[in-house]
Amino acid sequence: MRQIIILLCLLLISACTKAPVVPDWISGNSAAYSTNRYLLGRGEASSVGLARDRARADLAKNFAVQVREQSSDKSLWQQGGEGFQGLQTTISRHIHTQTDRIVEGVQIAETWRAEEGGNYHALAVLDRLQVGSRLRVRIRQLDNETAESINRARREERLPDQISAARNALEEQLERRYQQTQLTIVDVTGTGLKPKYQLADLKNDFDALLNRWEIAPQMTQDDLGGGQDLLAGALGNIGVLHHTDTSKADYLLVGQLVSKELNTTDGWYWLRGVLTVSLQDRNSKQVFGTHQWPFKVSSRQHDMVKTRARSYLAAVLDRELLEVLTSFGSGQK
């Protein structure tokens, strides 16, 4: 009897000291969450909350890398001037928001800790079928919107409206390109949906319309000086033909540059102002749209303040004027 009791004690001690079973997902695939159905992310940390955050971040890297690569792809922006980067920035910002929404669907499926005082492990999962279904719906919607924008560009009579609609078509397919990239990540086959439109063709159509645009800059107020040269330079940089003779252009880019010097503070000279531009039909005087850029600059040298203001506005116009002009037409959503 005594021997039996001793044997039972030894078995109990052995059971108590037996190493915990390590889940299969710690170092390999999960039987419960197949990679054919789920995207997986793993995290390890000294706290359970941090382990879960790291698991989510590990899964999100699947999307972040692709978004970053396409956001930095300059192949589409080599022509058309610096102003075209505004469209790229808009799309990149939108797709980062879309990616964040996808990542919000990530769930923590399991957590595990080997022993008291040891690190926590977490498994994050994302259902491929659910996300893929949403992405396919959005892609088909973008294709339908693109078809409508192309048709609108063909039926509009005024050039600004044609350009605005053509920009819509390009913007919609740029977003589709990102959505397609995300779909190939969650799609087990890695194929997604075959595109109906070629980005290069849409950009060529947009550039062709842009090359037909003839605009003359005209300043109605210029407190800084050199305002007309600023507008002319920006138009040239974005690929729009500009004339110094307003009678030779169908459209006018009317500018108003208002500025005011502020009181000096600690040896600094300050200048604040607003640049306002309006796109007008030269013959009918119809205004297609108006946009303003406020500015504030400073310098320790009084004669440098206006120079800095002009440099600042030149950079802003190069970066944003094309996006502003193409948003004025009725084809823009």
| DSSP secondary structure letter of residue 243 | -
pLDDT tens column, 240-272 = 888 888 888 999 999 999 999 887 778 899 999
Domain boundaries, the chain: 34-127, 130-210, 214-326
For residue 239 the two structure tokens come to 């690929």
Rounded distance between C-alpha atoms, residue 206 and residue 213, angstroms? 11
Q: What is the dihedral of CA 158, 164, 165, 171, to 10 degrees?
A: 170
pLDDT of residue 80: 47
Q: CATH: 3.90.1010.10, 1.20.1600.10, 3.40.50.300, 3.10.28.20. Which one for 34-127?
A: 3.10.28.20
pTM for the model: 0.77
Does residue 8 carry a pLDDT above 70?
no
Q: Where are the alpha helices (DSSP H) in 124-158?
A: 128-155
CA of 202: how far to CAs of 67, 169, 194, 310, in Å?
Answer: 21, 7, 16, 34
pLDDT tens column, 22-61 = 899 988 888 999 999 999 999 999 999 999 999 999 998 8
For the chain, the maximum distance between any two Cα atoms, rounded to a whole number of angstroms, is 117
Superfamily of chain region 214-326:
Lipoprotein like domain (3.30.160.150)
The answer to whether 42 and 125 are in contact (CB under 8 A) is no
